[in-house]
Amino acid sequence: MKNFSTLSLTLVAIFATLTAIGAFIKVPLPIVPFTLQIIVVFLAGSLLGSKQGLQSQLVYLFVGLAGLPVFTQGGGLMYVLQPTFGYLIGFAAGAFAIGFLIERIQQPSFKHFIAANLIGTVIIYTIGVPYLYLALNFWLGVPTNLSHVLAAGLFSTIGIDIALAIFTSLLAVRLYPVFKTIHSPNKSDLKTKKSVLYGTKLNKKKINLNGFSHYSAISHQFS
């Protein structure tokens, strides 16, 4: 169990690190730059599941807000005022949703991963775009109408993200069996251990009963 926990923590740390690396592989665009972070988000949810997929993105957020420059434009607590911070919140929610959906399918296929990734994409933009609008118009004091926000924060990148959702689904189909094997305890081993423990308990009961019967027989002879 300790090894399993260590492995889980390691996977969470790896995907948090990959998210940070993805922040610096970017295409500069007005207001909202395009990065490869969303690929890591898709894979985190698909391969780690809802709980650890979410944890990987929360670790990334906490490290950045603590001051390490892992975000696209730096780090620190004041980064919450950045207009694109809503997308980072969306990454955490999206990874959780993707994992939640995949966990409910016994043998997920390519179409399941695509559907989960697309739903995750919708969640990311549902959080990111309103946050972008509020940040520009309220605390940053940059009056921007909704059409401009949608153009910069949705239409300029949504097509690429959908393509990446499909591409990542191809990767997930191939990687999922591997992660399922190393990420989950071996059920057959657990059954074997339970059988051994159960058999040991039965043997102890038999020994106790036999001892009691033998003692009763001796007592009866001398009575």
CA distance 46 to 40: 10
At 187, give phi and psi (nearest 5°). -65, -35
Q: Are strands 26-27 and 34-35 parallel, antiparallel or unpaired?
A: antiparallel
What is the structure's pLDDT at 28?
80
What is the pLDDT, as a whole number, of residue 88?
98
What is the reported pTM? Answer: 0.82
**CA angle 62–82–36, rounded 5-degree value:** 70
CA distance 201 to 113: 45
Rounded to whole angstroms, the Cα distance separating 172 from 177 reads 9
pLDDT in the model for residue 223: 46
Measured distance CA(174)–CA(99) in Å, rounded:
16
φ, ψ of residue 49 to 5 degrees: the values are: 95, 175
At 222 the pLDDT is: 42
Q: What is the pLDDT of residues 172-208, one digit of tens each?
A: 999 999 998 876 655 444 454 444 445 545 455 554 5
User: How many CB atoms are located within 10 Å of the residue 19 CB?
Assistant: 29
B/e letters for 57-85, b = 16+ CB within 10 Å, e = fewer, are bbbbbebbbeeeebbbeebeeebeebbbb
pLDDT in 10s for each residue of the chain, 223 residues: 555 589 899 999 999 999 999 999 988 877 788 899 999 999 999 999 999 999 999 999 999 999 999 999 999 999 999 999 999 999 999 999 999 999 999 999 999 999 999 999 999 999 999 999 999 999 999 999 999 999 999 999 999 999 999 999 999 999 999 998 876 655 444 454 444 445 545 455 554 545 545 444 444 444 4
